[in-house]
């Protein structure tokens, strides 16, 4: 009802994906902006252009945004298990690796040779190996799920933590699948084929003509809006990952409205009471592990295909902690918070690196307050003490990678103590303040 957005007259209206017009308009604008980014960060209308996000169309930034989309899928899976179902897991990297190496075996080159011998590969198209990566990971997750019925809390976290170390040993041992710890193996790229034909229908690994859909839009709006005739490899990959991320966001959001999603939340809040009310504890935890592992498997396959070559040690404990930090910093149990946390955690290293470089330039070129502050925080040589080291070689201070690890830990502690809902909770506070302004009650 107009002017009363929180007034619902039916359960269907209250449980819709986007119940208010504000959310619908905001979601539409976000998707529209993301689609426009690989097209140059804006539009060319006639002879004029409007490109406020033009810098994001650079290949470097498109790769970072593609990683945001991939890790958003992984974080959504962990959010279903930990945030919605309340089952603490530190083994998400294990299931991502299962998906990655499933994709490598099914989609890898047939008879490919590696440093330690031939690699397993069947050369199947992406429409087979990408879903199969999630399905195999889900099946293995279902095997792990019975332990969730017997243990909980910290004990469950240690059980899933053991999977990461078992996985690291297995990945180093089965070199025909993983390629070994020294060289790794090449993963199948984003090439869309009907079967095993030599020329793909759509090749996302090379620069070339725009997608057919973009050409249709260009044909319809050509007299008014000009779209680029050529798209880079990074732009095509970003749009492909964006489409998949949107699909998984809709599925995760819709899951919370279903009977299965409500059973997950009942188990999370009070599992004994939920079981007394008729919720199957074992069944719900089995479903949560299966769905979460499916998300992780697909994300692992996407990540491996995006990078191209990975060593087994890439799927380590830090990767699990990184995904866990996304949902804790963003807001556990919420889809919007998971997306915020994924964007924040992936963009943080780039922002830290650029800020450190800017401080270094300020110290070397300028003087004044900013130069003094930069000199205090940045180490530019062996005899210069600072919090962050931007010089090559052994210098005092933390490297950018070490500083990012410290920031992850510090942010997790801060958000758990002061804002359990993370960035989503901060947004709720801001929204409620402006809704009630100028009244304070």
The pLDDT value recorded for residue 432 is: 80
User: Considering the entire predicted model, what is its pTM?
Assistant: 0.89
Residue 237 CB contacts under 8 Å (≥ 6 apart), including other chains: 62, 66, 190, 204, 205, 306
The greatest distance separating any two alpha carbons of the chain, rounded to the nearest whole angstrom, comes to 72
Collapsing DSSP states into helix, strand and coil, what is residue 12? helix
The pLDDT value recorded for residue 44 is: 53
The pLDDT value recorded for residue 149 is: 75
Cβ count within 10 A of residue 426: 15
The pLDDT value recorded for residue 43 is: 53
DSSP category for residue 25: H
The pLDDT value recorded for residue 248 is: 97
Residue 270 CB contacts under 8 Å (≥ 6 apart), including other chains: none
348-387, pLDDT tens digit by residue? 888 888 887 777 777 777 666 677 777 677 776 666 677 7
Backbone region of residue 232 per phi and psi (left: phi > 0; alpha: psi in -120 to 50; beta: other values): beta
Distance separating alpha carbons of residues 413 and 64, to the nearest angstrom: 26
The pLDDT value recorded for residue 245 is: 96
The pLDDT value recorded for residue 155 is: 86
Spans of the chain below 70 pLDDT: 1-6, 40-54, 113-117, 209-229, 366-369, 375, 380-384, 390-395, 440-441
Residue pair 176/119 in contact (Cβ under 8 Å)? The answer is: yes
Question: In 3D, which of 420, 182, 131 has the Cα closest to residue 294?
Answer: 131
Element (H, E) at 186: strand 185-186
For 44, phi then psi, to 5°, come to -110, 110
Q: Where are the alpha helices (DSSP H) in 256-330?
A: 259-269, 271-276, 281-307, 317-330
Cβ count within 10 A of residue 401: 11
Distance separating alpha carbons of residues 405 and 389, to the nearest angstrom: 15
Write the DSSP string, 189-245.
Answer: -SEE-SSS-SS-SEE-SS-EEPPHHHHHHHHHHTTTEEPPSEE-HHHHHHHHHHHHH
Query: Measured in Å, how far apart are the chain's first and last C-alpha atoms?
Result: 24
- CA angle 144/146/147 to nearest 5° reads 75
Question: In 3D, which of 270, 189, 277 has the Cα closest to residue 233?
Answer: 189
The pLDDT value recorded for residue 200 is: 82
Token couple for 238 = 């970003």
Question: In 3D, which of 169, 420, 80, 129 has the Cα closest to residue 298?
Answer: 129
Distance separating alpha carbons of residues 126 and 302, to the nearest angstrom: 10
Residue 147 CB contacts under 8 Å (≥ 6 apart), including other chains: 156, 159
* Three-state helix/strand/coil letters over 67-89: HHHHHHHHHHHHHHHHHHCCCCC
How far is Cα of residue 100 from the mean position of the Cα atoms in its chain? 15
327-342, pLDDT tens digit by residue? 999 999 899 999 999 9
Write the DSSP string, 360-409.
Answer: HHHHHH--SHHHHHHHHHEE-STT---SEE-SSSS-SSB-HHHHHHHHHH
Residue pair 131/360 in contact (Cβ under 8 Å)? The answer is: no
Q: Write down the residue that tokens 């009310």 correspond to.
A: 277
Distance separating alpha carbons of residues 248 and 295, to the nearest angstrom: 8
Domain limits of the chain?
Answer: 58-315, 352-436
């Amino acid at each position: 009802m107009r002017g009363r957005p929180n007034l619902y007259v039916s359960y269907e209206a209250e449980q819709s994906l986007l119940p208010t017009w504000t959310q619908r308009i905001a979601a539409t604008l976000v998707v529209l902006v993301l689609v426009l980014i690989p097209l140059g960060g804006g539009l060319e209308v006639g002879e004029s252009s409007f490109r406020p996000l033009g810098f994001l169309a650079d290949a470097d930034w498109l790769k970072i945004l593609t990683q945001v989309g991939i890790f958003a899928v992984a974080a959504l899976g962990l959010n279903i298990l930990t945030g919605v179902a309340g089952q603490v897991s530190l083994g998400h990297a294990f299931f991502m690796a299962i998906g990655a190496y499933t994709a490598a075996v099914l989609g890898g080159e047939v008879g490919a040779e590696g440093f330690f011998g031939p690699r397993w590969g069947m050369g199947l198209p992406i429409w087979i190996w990408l879903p199969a990566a999630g399905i195999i990971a889900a099946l293995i997750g279902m095997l792990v799920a019975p332990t969730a019925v017997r243990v909980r809390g910290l004990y469950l976290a240690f059980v899933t933590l053991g999977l990461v170390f078992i996985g690291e040993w297995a990945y180093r041992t089965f070199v025909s699948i993983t390629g070994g710890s020294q060289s790794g193996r090449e993963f199948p790229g984003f090439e869309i084929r009907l079967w095993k034909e030599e020329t793909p229908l759509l090749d996302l690994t090379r620069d070339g003509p725009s997608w057919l859909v973009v050409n249709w839009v260009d044909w319809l709006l050509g007299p008014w809006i000009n779209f680029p005739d050529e798209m880079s490899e990074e732009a095509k990959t970003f749009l492909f990952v964006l489409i998949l991320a949107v699909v998984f966001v809709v599925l995760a959001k819709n899951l919370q409205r279903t009977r299965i999603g409500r059973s997950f939340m009942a188990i999370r809040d009070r599992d004994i009471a939920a079981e007394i009310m008729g919720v199957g504890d074992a069944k719900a935890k089995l479903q949560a592990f299966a769905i979460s592992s499916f998300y992780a498997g697909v994300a692992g396959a996407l990540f491996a295909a995006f990078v191209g070559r990975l060593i087994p040690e890439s799927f380590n404990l830090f990767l699990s902690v990184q995904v866990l930090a996304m949902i804790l910093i963003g807001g556990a149990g919420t889809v919007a918070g998971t997306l915020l946390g994924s964007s924040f955690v992936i963009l943080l290293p780039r922002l830290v690196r650029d800020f450190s470089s800017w401080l270094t330039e300020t110290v070397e070129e300028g003087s004044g307050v900013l130069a003094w502050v930069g000199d205090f925080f940045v180490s530019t040589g062996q005899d210069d003490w600072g919090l962050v080291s931007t010089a090559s070689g052994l210098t005092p201070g933390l490297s950018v990678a070490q500083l990012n690890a410290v920031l992850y830990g510090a942010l997790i502690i801060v958000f758990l103590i002061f804002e359990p809902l993370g960035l989503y909770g901060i947004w709720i506070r801001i929204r409620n303040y402006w809704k009630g302004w100028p009244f304070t009650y």
